[in-house]
Chains A and B, each alone.
Chain A
Amino acid sequence: MSARRGYIAGIAGPVVVAKGLSGVKMGEVVYVGEDQLVGEVVRISSNYFTVQVYEDTSGLRPKEPIIATGKLLVAELGPGLMSVTFDGIERPLEEVRKQIGDFVSRGVKVNALPRNVKWHFKPLVKKSVKVEGGDVIGEVQETPLVIHKIMVPPGVDGSITWIEEGDYTVEEPVATVERDGEVFEIKMMQEWPVRTPRLFKKRLPSEVPLIVGLRVIDTFFPVAKGGAAAVPGGFGTGKTVLLHKVAMYSDSRIVIYIGCGERGNEIAEMLEEFPQLKDPKTGHPIMERSIIIANTSNMPVSAREASIYMGVTMAEYYRDMGYDVTLIADSTSRWAEALREIAGRLGEMPVERGFPAYLPDRIAEFYERAGRVVALGSPERVGSVTILGAVSPPGGDFNEPVTIHTLRFVGAMWALDPELAYRRHYPAINWLKSFSQYAEIVERWWAKNVSKDFQQYRRKALRLLTVASEIESIASIVGESALPDNQRLILLTSEILKEGFLRQTALSGEDVFCQPRKQFLLLKMIMDFFDKTYVLIRKRVSIEEISRMPEVFEMMRVKEDERGIKAVEELYARVMKKLDELAEKYGLTLGGGDMRG
């Protein structure tokens, strides 16, 4: 095919107007200028079209050529994606570095998947079997942690005429399919346009929680596998640290992390930590199940816009193999700003705060690509994509378009609070402002796998925290000592909950990841303490006597005890015994306090 060429008519930042070429498609990839910068067609008119360029346009001149490729912006999908760091348009950054050095300059062309690496392909179907789009025909051990299923590309069907085990590159055929005399070669690499969601058979309800090991999330504001959660917070509230921890410890099989318009050193930190951190089940570095997409804040804005779609397309691809995938986007606000900037350069009419009118649609389209689904083809596979999106509201004020529209399309919000961060209470998730629509759904999972009492304790604790915040505001006026003892007990218990349950270190040690069983025991301990003490207080035992108990401080610190669940059980027994003794001293009897729960 002869190249279709046009020429540049005008340049303003990343937006280039071109002429002299007809029949370009919306979304078509073009190469711009002598340096062949990558761009995408974003607007077509009868005699010109507009291109958004993914690289710095300095030095570009009118009349330089533009070459149309006839292809949409696609993701290359196949073995070789895992453990690689890409930029927003899927250029492997390590490879880019090898070619052009430490700085990313323009016009560099690198394939997403290496063409010279041979993968060992094992067929899972035999010759003359009938296959159709989505069917798994074989597999490749991509990394020690990930078996890569080779699937028939959508739209291809027929019977297999040839398939053979062996070592192949991604471009070599591993099988041939014939239908009505037409032969189609199946390769390990396929392409998919990033702005189109990948197809699936049907959507399933999300009912299993994504366990992240952070108590405030798992217990109070869970996200289900296949769900979507937003993490809004001003700077310094710990968004990125929180999302890094989720990427490291959550129980999903695959993690895709999009560093979208954020700091370069944060990517450097992940690249340093991920290869060292071992997957608890297999002992392999978690890097082997992760893909990082890094389009830092100083890299071109339009590639930032594309990076989100690139990441979610990869997530869907692994979902189709039957994996639970977590997609983390840090930060979606930077992506929205990229949309705004490009819209501004295109002269589109701004609506709220300069954002284009289609912002809510774009946000909805993105979060709707989360889900738990039955994949196309056979054997039957169930996979999920869970999306966690950071939102960086200007001035930390949630009343702005990106936060508002995001909250309409997600099932959970973890609201980060600067007040908590100032007190170094991390994760700084505000328990009064956050919500999760998955809480009720995943309670069934907790009842089945942890304890049937979970739901009751969870609700009680949330209620106590709400009441405590009301009392706190009174206490800040009249002073704590002026409050009645039962209210002071609520304050004391909420203090124990905050320090001993909600607050959790992100650095290292026992408390970094908390098993669901331990989460439940800690919660039960604190709430049973409250119930028993409440009775004592009502019978005129003084709050001072309670708060002097050394066990009160121990409840705040037992989470860090290296003996784990054992230490909690032991302390629980001691607290109950101590309270019983106290009751005895005052001639009272207390019920409950059974550890079995």
Chain B
Amino acid sequence: MDEWIFRRDILRCFHGKLYRGAREIKGSLMFVDGVEDAAYDEVVQIYGSDGKERTGRVLETKIGEAIVQILGERAGLETDVLIKFTGSTFRIPISEDVLGRIFNGRFEPIDGLPPIISYEKREITGAPINPVAREYPHDFIQTGISVIDGMFSLVRGQKLPIFSVSGLPHNMVAAQLARQATVRGEEEGFAVVFAGIGLRNTEADFFIEQFRETGAIERMVAILNLADDPAVERIMTPRIALTIAEYLAFDLEMHVLVIMSDMTNYCEALREISTARGEIPGRLGYPGYMYSDLATIYERAGIIKGKKGSITLFPILTMPGGDLRHPIPDLTGYITEGQIFLSQELSVRGIYPPVNVLPSLSRLMKAGIGEGKTREDHRYVADQLYDAYSRGVRARDLARIIGEVGLSERMKRFLKFAEEFESNFVNQDPYENRPIEETLNRAWRVLSVLPEEELVRIPRKMIEKYHPNYGGG
């Protein structure tokens, strides 16, 4: 009978367990006495004396008491409420009709169309993929962004976050990625599931507009929790998005790109709830279980053996105060398979995408590149770019102290390389889509600033094949 949870008219006739009156309401928590056997994580409906209806979830239960987390608007709520325990955990109806639709953090449509009705229901918490059922990701995704394709290649089934700072064009990068990402040799693009977590209205509009512009809207599902929506719903937003993504990937065999912005807002919501429950705080007041909690989101990316679809996860988070050691980027980095850093410094200098190359990393890159996947020289070129750039950056730091004239000839060359690399390799237009060959050829042209002997990371035969001096590039 619980198929009808979201049909409220029918819900009213449903014979659920009804209680009247809460003992206490504290923040988003409601303490209900006299409840005998509420299930842990069970969904409750709350009918306020103001005539409004809200949804909640059981956070803790014992004989005689249930602690309920209220989702949605709390203002106007009194202790005199009707509380209905629905008997089931939070599930969403799911069908192919979700494509092209926009929902809020409670999975109610906000695009003016009717709700999804389906007998197929999924628990939004999901279940962990059995590690032995996982297929190790191998397929290179061409994003058309040189610095990502060339140096931090993304593969299908990977989770690769953008670590950014407020004010940087991370949304632009994410949108470009969503527009351009393809797997070579395959016609179809990705289906995109977008989870907007605590986004400002303009940001959300920007994403929707971007998808609409490219016609990607039919292959997109958006779950939007806006900055003025209740914070507690931020806990559900990414989980609803991933439940849909799992359905698209593992039932409909689609390749799904999930973009989640901004995970920092998610973590803030987690902290808010944890504090309201009076839990023992960990670092900076974030709960001690934040690592495990984030893992239940990020680890839902992946590929399953014998299934065609995949989930590639692209979370965006803004580092509070630009601090990498802040618990949010720190715990994320421990779970995800690499990270792409954006840098204020490059952005100020007008470089787009402002990717800070040195601390960025893609852990699954090695499996996705090379002969037959991208090109045989890819790995060596990437290593060489990285090595030379790190020397260039060191030269630049040194020049700040002792002046450029104090640098050795060799160091000056690396400094010149770094400039060249930033402006001709990293820098590109937000609407420019570079195939991997072009990216690699560009890399060779930038490397040719250095004398051939300095290219120690590249085998001789590759140099002779691809170096501009030998007709390559």
Q: Which residues of A contact B (CB under 8 A)?
A: 9-13, 17, 56-64, 85, 93-94, 96-97, 101-105, 234-236, 259, 261, 263-265, 267-269, 271-272, 294, 296-299, 301, 334, 337-338, 340-341, 344, 350, 353-354, 392, 394-397, 418, 422-424, 476-481, 507, 553, 556-557
Are B132 and A294 in contact (CB-based, < 8 A)?
yes
Q: 8 Å CB contacts to A: which residues of B284-329? A: 288-289, 291-292, 295-296, 298-300, 302, 304-305, 307, 324-327
Q: Which 6 A-B pairs have the closest CB atoms?
A: A10-B62, A297-B295, A395-B325, A298-B299, A58-B41, A235-B333
Contact of A85 among B131, B390, B401 (CB under 8 A): B131
Q: 24 A-B residue contacts at CB 8 Å?
A: A11-B60, A58-B40, A61-B37, A61-B38, A62-B63, A104-B129, A234-B330, A235-B330, A236-B339, A264-B131, A267-B132, A268-B134, A268-B135, A269-B136, A271-B131, A296-B131, A298-B299, A298-B300, A337-B292, A344-B280, A395-B330, A422-B359, A477-B401, A481-B406
Q: Of the 9-residue stretches B120-128, B194-202, B218-226, B434-442, which lies at the interface with chain A? A: B120-128
Taking CB as reference atom, which chain A residue is nearest B133? A102
B261 within 8 A of A: no
Question: How near does chain A come to B122, taking the closest CB pair, in angstroms?
Answer: 11
Kindly count the residue-residue contacts between A and B in the assembled complex, taking CB atoms under 8 Å apart: 208
Q: 8 Å CB contacts to A: which residues of B54-105? A: 59-63, 88-89
Question: How near does chain B come to A590, taking the closest CB pair, in angstroms?
Answer: 28
Question: How near does chain A come to B271, taking the closest CB pair, in angstroms?
Answer: 14
Q: Which residues from chain A contact B233 at a C-beta distance below 8 Å?
A: none
Are B289 and A341 in contact (CB-based, < 8 A)?
yes
Are A58 and B283 in contact (CB-based, < 8 A)?
no
B42 within 8 A of A: yes
Are A481 and B408 in contact (CB-based, < 8 A)?
yes
Are A104 and B127 in contact (CB-based, < 8 A)?
yes
The CA of A344 and the CA of B278, in the complex, are separated in Å by 11
Q: 8 Å CB contacts to A: which residues of B454-473? A: 456
Question: How near does chain A come to B330, taking the closest CB pair, in angstroms?
Answer: 5
Contact of A60 among B40, B305, B456 (CB under 8 A): B40
Q: Which residues from chain A contact B298 at a C-beta distance below 8 Å?
A: 298
Are B296 and A298 in contact (CB-based, < 8 A)?
yes
- Most B CB atoms within 10 A — which of A264, A267, A556? A264
Q: Which residues from chain B contact A397 at a C-beta distance below 8 Å?
A: 325
Taking CB as reference atom, which chain B residue is nearest A235? B333
- Most B CB atoms within 10 A — which of A104, A259, A298, A480? A298
Are A61 and B39 in contact (CB-based, < 8 A)?
yes
Contact of A480 among B282, B367, B390, B408 (CB under 8 A): B408
Contact of A11 among B62, B134, B288, B408 (CB under 8 A): B62
Taking CB as reference atom, which chain A residue is nearest B407? A479
Taking CB as reference atom, which chain B residue is nearest A92? B132
> Hey, what's the 0/1 contact readout for B335-356 against A, CB within 8 Å counting as 1?
1011100000000000000000
Taking CB as reference atom, which chain A residue is nearest B250? A102
The CA of A320 and the CA of B118, in the complex, are separated in Å by 57
Are B338 and A103 in contact (CB-based, < 8 A)?
no
The CA of A514 and the CA of B386, in the complex, are separated in Å by 26
Taking CB as reference atom, which chain B residue is nearest A392? B334
Taking CB as reference atom, which chain A residue is nearest B359? A422
B137 within 8 A of A: yes
B214 within 8 A of A: no
Q: Which residues from chain B contact A476 at a C-beta distance below 8 Å?
A: 398, 401
- Most A CB atoms within 10 A — which of B126, B157, B280, B386? B280
Are A394 and B129 in contact (CB-based, < 8 A)?
no
B36 within 8 A of A: yes
Are B299 and A396 in contact (CB-based, < 8 A)?
no
Q: Which residues from chain A contact B324 at a C-beta distance below 8 Å?
A: 395
Are A10 and B61 in contact (CB-based, < 8 A)?
yes
Contact of B40 among A11, A354, A395, A481 (CB under 8 A): A11
Q: Which residues from chain B contact A340 at a C-beta distance below 8 Å?
A: 282, 288
Q: Which residues from chain A contact B132 at a C-beta distance below 8 Å?
A: 85, 93-94, 97, 267, 271, 294
B25 within 8 A of A: no
Q: Which residues from chain B contact A334 at a C-beta distance below 8 Å?
A: 291
Question: How near does chain B come to A548, taking the closest CB pair, in angstroms?
Answer: 12
Question: How near does chain A come to B159, taking the closest CB pair, in angstroms?
Answer: 9
Taking CB as reference atom, which chain A residue is nearest B134? A268
Q: Which residues from chain A contact B63 at a C-beta distance below 8 Å?
A: 9-10, 62-63
Q: Which residues from chain B contact A96 at a C-beta distance below 8 Å?
A: 130
Question: How near does chain A come to B78, taking the closest CB pair, in angstroms?
Answer: 26
> Hey, what's the 0/1 contact readout for B20-48 against A, CB within 8 Å counting as 1?
00000000000000001111111000000
Are B386 and A102 in contact (CB-based, < 8 A)?
no
Question: How near does chain A come to B91, taking the closest CB pair, in angstroms?
Answer: 11
Are A479 and B62 in contact (CB-based, < 8 A)?
no
The CA of A392 and the CA of B61, in the complex, are separated in Å by 34
Are A97 and B133 in contact (CB-based, < 8 A)?
yes
Are A61 and B359 in contact (CB-based, < 8 A)?
no
Contact of B62 among A17, A341, A353, A354 (CB under 8 A): A17
Contact of B137 among A61, A265, A479 (CB under 8 A): A265
Additional A-B contact list (14), CB under 8 Å, known A476-B398, A479-B398: A12-B40, A57-B40, A62-B61, A64-B37, A85-B131, A97-B130, A261-B292, A264-B302, A271-B132, A337-B292, A394-B327, A395-B326, A424-B390, A481-B408
The CA of A171 and the CA of B330, in the complex, are separated in Å by 48
Are B333 and A236 in contact (CB-based, < 8 A)?
yes
Q: Which residues from chain A contact B36 at a C-beta distance below 8 Å?
A: 62-63
B376 within 8 A of A: no
Taking CB as reference atom, which chain A residue is nearest B306? A102
Q: Which residues from chain A contact B330 at a C-beta distance below 8 Å?
A: 234-235, 394-396
B413 within 8 A of A: no
Are B42 and A59 in contact (CB-based, < 8 A)?
yes
Are B37 and A63 in contact (CB-based, < 8 A)?
yes
The CA of A43 and the CA of B296, in the complex, are separated in Å by 27
Question: How near does chain B come to A392, taking the closest CB pair, in angstroms?
Answer: 6
Are A265 and B302 in contact (CB-based, < 8 A)?
yes
Question: How near does chain A come to B362, taking the closest CB pair, in angstroms?
Answer: 10
Q: Which residues from chain A contact B279 at a C-beta distance below 8 Å?
A: 344
- Most A CB atoms within 10 A — which of B300, B334, B408? B334
The CA of A93 and the CA of B338, in the complex, are separated in Å by 27
Are B131 and A58 in contact (CB-based, < 8 A)?
no
The CA of A85 and the CA of B358, in the complex, are separated in Å by 36
Are B129 and A264 in contact (CB-based, < 8 A)?
yes
B383 within 8 A of A: yes
Q: Which residues from chain B contact A301 at a C-beta distance below 8 Å?
A: 289, 292
Are A337 and B288 in contact (CB-based, < 8 A)?
yes
> Hey, what's the 0/1 contact readout for B384-423 against A, CB within 8 Å counting as 1?
0011001000000010011000111000000000000000
Are A62 and B62 in contact (CB-based, < 8 A)?
yes
Question: How near does chain B come to A296, taking the closest CB pair, in angstroms?
Answer: 6
Q: Which residues from chain B contact A12 at a C-beta distance below 8 Å?
A: 40, 59-61
* Contact of A296 with B37 at beta-carbon distance under 8 Å, contacts A265-B136, A267-B131, A394-B283 already known: no
The CA of A269 and the CA of B386, in the complex, are separated in Å by 25
Are B157 and A265 in contact (CB-based, < 8 A)?
yes
Question: How near does chain A come to B460, taking the closest CB pair, in angstroms?
Answer: 12
Taking CB as reference atom, which chain B residue is nearest A475? B398
Are B280 and A104 in contact (CB-based, < 8 A)?
no
The CA of A450 and the CA of B169, in the complex, are separated in Å by 57
B145 within 8 A of A: no
B173 within 8 A of A: no
The CA of A223 and the CA of B305, in the complex, are separated in Å by 38
The CA of A61 and the CA of B37, in the complex, are separated in Å by 5
The CA of A94 and the CA of B89, in the complex, are separated in Å by 28
Q: Which residues from chain A contact B123 at a C-beta distance below 8 Å?
A: 58
Q: Which residues from chain B contact A272 at a C-beta distance below 8 Å?
A: 136
Are B288 and A344 in contact (CB-based, < 8 A)?
yes
The CA of A263 and the CA of B158, in the complex, are separated in Å by 11
The CA of A364 and the CA of B426, in the complex, are separated in Å by 49
The CA of A63 and the CA of B42, in the complex, are separated in Å by 15
Question: How near does chain B come to A508, taking the closest CB pair, in angstroms?
Answer: 10
Q: Which residues from chain B contact A271 at a C-beta distance below 8 Å?
A: 131-132, 136
Q: Which residues from chain A contact B191 at a C-beta distance below 8 Å?
A: none
The CA of A97 and the CA of B304, in the complex, are separated in Å by 12
B443 within 8 A of A: no
